[in-house]
């Protein structure tokens, strides 16, 4: 601890090979209570507590038997699912490599690839009770572009959820500040009984992330009818 730092707070000296930004990030990690808690409890990331807190509020993991984790890396959310529901079937997908998790099928591939949804359904072996999406596009530093790219992932996740969820199933997705846009919220409301936004306490205050929680899927028949084009009738 350096002179002048608050009691118990660790300060990181700037090394020649480390930028000031990296130093600030490292210092934040070292002093983040959720990071410390994750290490102590064996979770791969502090993000695990976001799902834990969302589950405490929305009861997402109650009775689930099949779960899809979109953007699974590094695996914290799936660890929570397996801890709460150890008998649950979980299938995850991510562009990044993910260390194995006992009892979990992990696909390293692009969720937006044409054949990805079929692979996920094949590995799942039935209708899902819950679809989780912690996906976010790589940022380019332009807020509007970053928002559009992330929302494109959310929209793809919604389409997939409506194809794979059982009636009564739930969907959770990360969105950016301002939440899901009006058109997407309207689409979710057509397909789910309840749609809400939440920012769990584990989400850093300076982070732009929020989560949209859509519960009680109405079922494919109703959702397909709601999205028909006039020419389909």
210 labelled ligand-binding: no
- The residue extents of the domains of the chain are 13-42, 45-226
Per-residue confidence (pLDDT) for residue 20, from 0 to 100: 56
* 77 assigned to a ligand binding site: yes
Distance (Å, whole) CA 223 – CA 191: 5
Cis previous bond, 74, omega within 30: yes
Regarding pTM above 0.75, the answer is yes
- Sheet of strand 192-198, all strands in order from the earlier edge strand to the far edge: 104-108, 89-94, 66-70, 128-133, 165-175, 210-217, 192-198
Residue 134 assigned ligand-binding role: yes
In the CATH scheme, what is the code of domain 45-226? 3.40.50.150
Q: What is the pLDDT along the chain (233 residues), one digit of tens a residue?
A: 444 444 455 554 555 555 555 545 445 555 578 888 989 999 999 999 999 999 999 999 999 999 999 999 999 999 999 999 999 999 999 999 999 999 999 999 999 999 999 999 999 999 999 999 999 877 667 767 777 788 899 999 999 999 999 999 999 999 876 667 889 999 999 999 999 999 999 987 878 889 999 999 999 864 454 444 444 43
**Catalytic option among 50, 174, 199, 218:** 174
pLDDT at 11: 54
Q: What is the enclosing helix (H) or strand (E) of 90?
A: strand 89-94
Is position 206 annotated in a ligand binding site? Answer: no
User: What pLDDT shows up at residue 14?
Assistant: 53
pLDDT, position 150: 82
Is 114 annotated as belonging to a binding site? no
Structure tokens at 18: 């480390």
Whether 196 sits among the annotated catalytic residues: the reply is no
């Amino acid at each position: 601890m350096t002179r002048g730092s608050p009691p118990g707070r660790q300060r990181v000296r700037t090394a020649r090979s480390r930028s000031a930004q990296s130093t600030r990030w490292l210092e934040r990690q070292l002093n983040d209570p959720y990071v410390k808690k994750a290490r102590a409890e064996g979770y791969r990331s502090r993000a695990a507590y976001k799902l834990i807190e969302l589950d405490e509020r929305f009861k997402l993991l109650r009775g689930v038997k099949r779960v899809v984790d979109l953007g699974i890396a590094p695996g914290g959310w799936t660890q929570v699912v397996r801890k709460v529901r150890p008998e649950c079937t979980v299938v995850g997908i991510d562009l990044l490599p993910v260390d194995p998790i006992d009892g979990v099928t992990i696909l390293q591939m692009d969720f937006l690839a044409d054949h990805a949804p079929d692979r996920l359904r094949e590995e799942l072996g039935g209708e899902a009770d819950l679809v989780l999406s912690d996906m976010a596009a790589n940022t380019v530093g332009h807020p509007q572009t970053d928002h559009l790219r992330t929302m494109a992932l959310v929209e793809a996740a919604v389409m997939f959820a409506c194809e794979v969820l059982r009636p009564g199933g739930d969907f959770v997705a990360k969105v950016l500040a301002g939440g899901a846009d009006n058109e997407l919220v309207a689409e979710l409301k057509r397909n789910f009984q309840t749609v809400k936004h939440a920012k769990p306490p584990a989400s850093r205050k300076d982070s732009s992330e929020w989560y949209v929680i859509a519960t009680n899927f109405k079922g494919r028949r109703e959702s397909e009818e709601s999205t028909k084009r006039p020419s389909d009738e």
